[in-house]
Amino acid sequence: MAERSKPEPGHQTTDTDSMEKRPDSKPVSTPPGDDNTLVSDADVDVEAYAAEEQETTGTDPNVVDWDGPDDPENPMNWSVKKKWLNIAVLSILTFVTPLGSSMFAPGVPAIMNEFNETSATTATFLVSIYILGFAFGPLAIAPLSEIYGRRPLYFWGNIFFVIFTVCTALSKNIGMFMAFRLLMGLSGAVPVTIGSGSIADVMPVEKRGRAMSAWAMGPLLGPCIGPIAGGYLIEAAGWRWVYWLIAIMGGFCIPVSLIWLRESFAPVLMEQKTRRLRKETGNPDLYSKLSARAPPKEEFRLAIVRPLKLLLLTPIVTLMSLYVAIVYGILYLLITTFSFVYAGQYGFSEGNIGLTFLPAGLGMLIGVIVFGALSDKIVKHNKEKGNTHKPEIRITPVLTIPSGTALPVGLFLYGWTTEYTVHWIVPMIGVLIFSTGLMGVMFSVQNYLLDTYPRYAASCTAAISLLRSLLGALLPLGGLEMYNALGFGWGNSLLGFISLALIPIPLAFFMFGERIRGKFNPKL
């Protein structure tokens, strides 16, 4: 007999109750959300929905549902240990792949010399081509994860990442090197793209801040810590050993993910349960409550355009992604100047240049811890007061004004102290301030979009990643010419004024976001 337990009265519907539907089944309804489920169409008739649910699932014996509100198969009901073990594995995966973006940066001069290249644009593109993979990879990764689940993407993405890393280490010319770095970026984008979706699968809204903090340390600290180790490794053993080390670390993650990483996407788990029950009961008419009537090809067609729909048709995703993209591009532009500033103006050696990335990493660490804890505290306090949770609480001025203001302050300090060659510790403090603010901005925006579109968390991340990574890859190409024309003082001041002008964006959505969500609600 099909299992079709209904939540008991008063039971809160989790995010998993409103996830995407699966193929090969009859049409079913998805809940509009409550304290733990936040969707863009807030003005839903709850009574009408409840009546519809009673009609569609309460009388159909072929519907397969969770075994009540406490079903241990439901990812929201996993034990605390199991949830955090999953997040820990995700954090490891998400730490390794971003290392490829900048760990070899101190060795760019050696690579250019070995392959007989002299173009400054080529030197910059060696770093940024990896980020192009992070830009376009998510457009396929996100929809695939919403059809086939998270775990297969993590596993196979890591395998291909290791293969392409080995190929990069064996490169014989500059073309081969850049081609495999691009492929590294495409495959390495998997954990960065769907990690936030995996967290939304298992964590209630009031605990996502801490979980996101733990996961975010990997993709944010990796590009900053990597060059520190990379500088000394390149100095001692050559640039190829950077890629051998990354391949070894990625190879270690393959058995780790195979053993401990579990599928968390509710529609996939429910479909697996449905297939098992069909086999056990001999009833071919059983179908998942979270399934869809669209055939697989149609479902993939809808899923593949979803990130672009979110990016182009929803002002919330468009403007927030633009904000993150600009500040992220500025970060990568700053990173490309470190070698010139600290080697040329302060006389740092090739190995010691790697240490100049440490302030950025420390700033990000501070930002993750402070804004992650503060975000959860604000959400919890709001719920304790009896208020209905709204996504806009994630971008309250308490979070966005300090973080947004830190960006121009850090840029002004870095720019003018390097312009006049003030002691190297002062521009490093500027980078630390900028990085702390950057984390506050990115953290607030990502949590806001995650709460706004929980069913499509991976697609939201893909939309953000597209703009963010494009600017991260392309801005440094023209940025060095800007510094040549304006100098470090006015060049960074220009970036500071731009970041200052962006502060009103989250404030506008804090005040009018609910109204905008109701007006712009495309079919996803």
Q: Note the pLDDT tens digit of each residue in 430-440.
A: 999 999 999 88
- Residue 160, pLDDT > 90, answer yes
* Beta-strand runs (E) in 174-294: 287-288
Number of domains in the chain: 2
- Distance between CA 119 and CA 151 in Å, rounded? 41
Using DSSP's 3-state secondary structure scheme, residue 60 falls into coil
Residues 115, 279 contacting (CB under 8 angstroms): no
Q: Highest mean pLDDT range out of 95-109, 161-175, 330-344?
A: 161-175
Closest of 29, 31, 3 to residue 16, by C-alpha: 31
460 pLDDT higher than 70: yes
Q: At what angle do helices 315-338 and 397-419 cross, to 10 degrees?
A: 30
Sign of CA pseudo-dihedral 210, 224, 151, 28: positive
Top mean pLDDT of 162-166, 340-344, 501-505, 520-524 is at 162-166
The band of 133, judged by pLDDT with boundaries at 50, 70 and 90, is: confident
Q: What is the pLDDT of residue 294?
A: 61
Q: Which of the two residues, 207 and 81, has the higher pLDDT score?
A: 81
Is 102's pLDDT higher than 90?
A: no
- Asked whether residue 57 is domain-assigned, the answer is no
Comparison of pLDDT for 165 and 120, the residue scoring more: 165
The pLDDT of residue 223? 64
- 25 and 115 inside one domain: no
Q: What is the mean pLDDT of residues 56-82?
A: 79
19 with 129, same domain: the answer is no
Q: Specify whether 271 is located in the same domain as 209.
A: no
**Mean pLDDT computed over every residue of the chain:** 79
Is residue 122's pLDDT more than 60? yes
Mind listing the pLDDT tens digit for each residue in 258-278? 999 989 888 888 888 888 888
- How would you class 22 by CB atoms within 10 Å of its CB: exposed for 0-12, middle for 13-18, buried for 19 or more? buried
Angstrom CA distances, 71 to 6, 66, 68, 76, 397, stand at 11, 6, 6, 9, 39
pLDDT reading at 53 higher than 60: no
* pLDDT of res. 47: 36
Cα 147 vs. chain centroid, distance in angstroms? 19
**Average of per-residue pLDDT across 478-485:** 79
Residue 44 lies in a domain: no
Residue 7 belongs to domain spanning: 1-33+66-77+263-291
Each residue of 245-265: b (16+ CB within 10 Å) or e? bbbebbbebeeebeeebbbbb
Q: Kindly state whether residue 46 falls inside one of the protein's structural domains.
A: no
Residue 524: the pLDDT is: 61
Identify the pLDDT of residue 292: 61
The domain that holds 127 is classified in CATH as 1.20.1250.20
Name the DSSP class of 288: E
- Work out the average pLDDT over 497-515: 89
Query: Per-residue pLDDT averaged across 405-419, rounded?
Result: 93
Q: Shortest CA distance to 341 belongs to which of 324, 359, 328?
A: 359
Residue 345 near residue 216, CB atoms below 8 Å: no
Q: Are residues 404 and 277 in the same domain?
A: no
> What's the half-sphere exposure (Cβ side, CA atoms, 13 Å) at 48?
4
The answer on 424 and 284 residing in a single domain is: no
What's the pLDDT tens digit per position in 136-145? 888 888 888 8
Distance CA 175, CA 180 (A): 9
pTM above 0.85, yes or no: no
Q: Which of 182, 217, 219, 215 is nearest to 199 (CA)?
A: 215
Percent helix, strand, coil in the chain, to 5, is 75, 0, 20
Q: Are residues 22 and 163 in the same domain?
A: no
Look at the alpha carbons of 512, 517, 518, 522 in this order and tell me if their dihedral is positive or negative.
positive
Q: Is the pLDDT of residue 173 over 50?
A: yes
Give me the mean pLDDT over the 357-373 stretch. Answer: 83
Q: Which residues of 352-365 are buried (b: 16+ CB within 10 A; e: fewer)?
A: bbbbbbbbbbbbbb
Lowest mean pLDDT among 1-15, 223-237, 274-288, 463-477: 1-15
Q: Name the amino acid, one letter, at 301.
A: R
- Residue 501: the pLDDT is 92
Average pLDDT over residues 131-135: 83
Beta bridge partners of 63: 287
Residue of 169 and 284 predicted with greater confidence: 169
Per-residue pLDDT at 21: 38
Q: 122 and 23 in one domain?
A: no
| Residue 54 counted as domain residue | no
pLDDT of residue 522: 65
Question: Is 274 part of any domain?
Answer: yes
User: Would you state the pLDDT for residue 426?
Assistant: 93
Mean pLDDT within 319-334: 86
**281 and 132 both lie in a single domain:** no
CB 310 within 8 A of CB 30: no
Same domain? For 280 and 355 the reply is no
222 and 324 together in one domain: yes
- 45's tokens: 């008739």
Considering the domain architecture, whether residues 14 and 99 belong to the same structural domain is answered as no
Please tell me the distance from the alpha carbon of residue 181 to that of residue 378, in angstroms, as a whole number: 41
**Whether pLDDT at 32 is above 70:** no
